Amino acid sequence: MASIPQPAIGKARQELYRRMDKDNLAPLWEVLHNLIPNEPSTPCRPALWKYRDARPYLMEAGKLISAREAIRRVLILENPGMRGESCITQSLYAGLQLILPGEIAPSHRHSQSALRFIVEGAGAYTAVDGERTVMHPGDFIITPSWTWHDHGNPGAEPVVWMDGLDIRIVQTFGAQFHEPFPEEVQPVARSEGASAARFGNNLLPLGATAPFGRTSPIFNYPYARSRESLAKLAQDQDPDPCHGWKMQFLNPLTGGHAMPTIAAFIQLLPKGFSGEPCRSTDGTIFSVVEGAGSALVGAERFELEPRDTFVVPSWAPLRLEARGETVLFSFSDRPCQEALGLWREKRG
Ligand code: GTQ
């Protein structure tokens, strides 16, 4: 081999690749370092969506297309490093959905799981398998995989929420299913608050089985309760140096994450907080609920106001600062990574 001159080898290799290409074969050694990088390598970039900039587009869309015609009137939050791929991280989709007074978004079900984090307005509802829940800002609401769901706004103001779906994850497995409900609005089968009463009070009806399979039987985690937990936690213990006071939303039937594919968190940062850097393998989407501060993501600095959304790619160092007491909601694919033994966090 040493006797063959370098240019000739280069040419011979290219020639070999060209011939094997038509038989659907390719040389690993040309791509090995990209395939097995030393640490997470992702096209996902840090990004910030100011609500102040996004809202006018959403309201204009509200004039140009109805929720009924659109099925879901959503502006997709597209990661600038993955434009056209309808995703905010490598594994997750996010969007801002608007429903105007008097509108409905027709009923359907799909194998993708969805979460809703209410950003603006109150009085709209979402229905899941026969039960409606009314939305308020800061509520974390789940649409479990393969459950019938529709949204409606009988109230007086526009309601906007952030959607988070595991579209990419389900796509990776080729496990997508979707079905429209025969009617636009599904019938109401239970009283409002039924799921919370059955599963959300540290009680369980005898003989109850999980109504939504691997997903939490509670499908609305109201902000008033999350906020109260954060406030109490803050009274009695010191904040974590990276995360402040941070809690994860639970499935009371398992003690694990509320959703099988997506983890959701709520955290409080005290006024004047200057966090230490931390990185983790789960690219994470944040929605600012209260307060004001900054997120330093890698080399980027994002100034945060309520209702803004930002994304932290896998393994990008994140440092949080809070000028006033600040509350952040966030979600990621952590349950998938934990199930596969992949999740890592590194402080400092
Ligand atoms: O509300 O069912 O943002 O099916 C994307 C797909 C929302 C929904 C999205 C959906 C929905």
pLDDT in the model for residue 2: 57
Report yes or no on 30 lying in a domain. no
pLDDT in the model for residue 34: 95
Ligand 1: does its nearest atom lie under 6 Å from the Cβ of 163? Answer: yes
pLDDT in the model for residue 348: 87
Report yes or no on 308 lying in a domain. yes
pLDDT in the model for residue 14: 97
Report yes or no on 32 lying in a domain. no
Ligand 1 centre distance from Cα of residue 72 (Å): 6
Ligand 1: does its nearest atom lie under 6 Å from the Cβ of 54? Answer: no
Report yes or no on 195 lying in a domain. yes
Ligand 1 centre distance from Cα of residue 30 (Å): 40
As a whole number of angstroms, the distance between CA 29 and CA 314 comes to 26
CA angle 166, 54, 299 (to 5 degrees): 75
What order of strands is seen across the sheet that includes strand 114-120? 74-76, 93-99, 159-165, 114-120, 140-143, 220-221
Report yes or no on 247 lying in a domain. yes
CATH number of the structural domain spanning residue 308: 2.60.120.10
Report yes or no on 40 lying in a domain. no
Q: Locate the ligand 1 atom nearest the alpha carbon of residue 76 and give its number.
A: 3
Consecutive 10-residue averages of pLDDT for the chain (348 residues): 81 97 98 96 97 98 98 98 98 98 98 98 97 98 98 98 98 98 97 97 96 97 98 97 98 97 98 98 98 97 98 98 98 98 96
Report yes or no on 229 lying in a domain. yes
Report yes or no on 38 lying in a domain. no
The count of domains in the chain is 1
Domain span at residue 255?
47-347
Ligand 1 centre distance from Cα of residue 277 (Å): 33
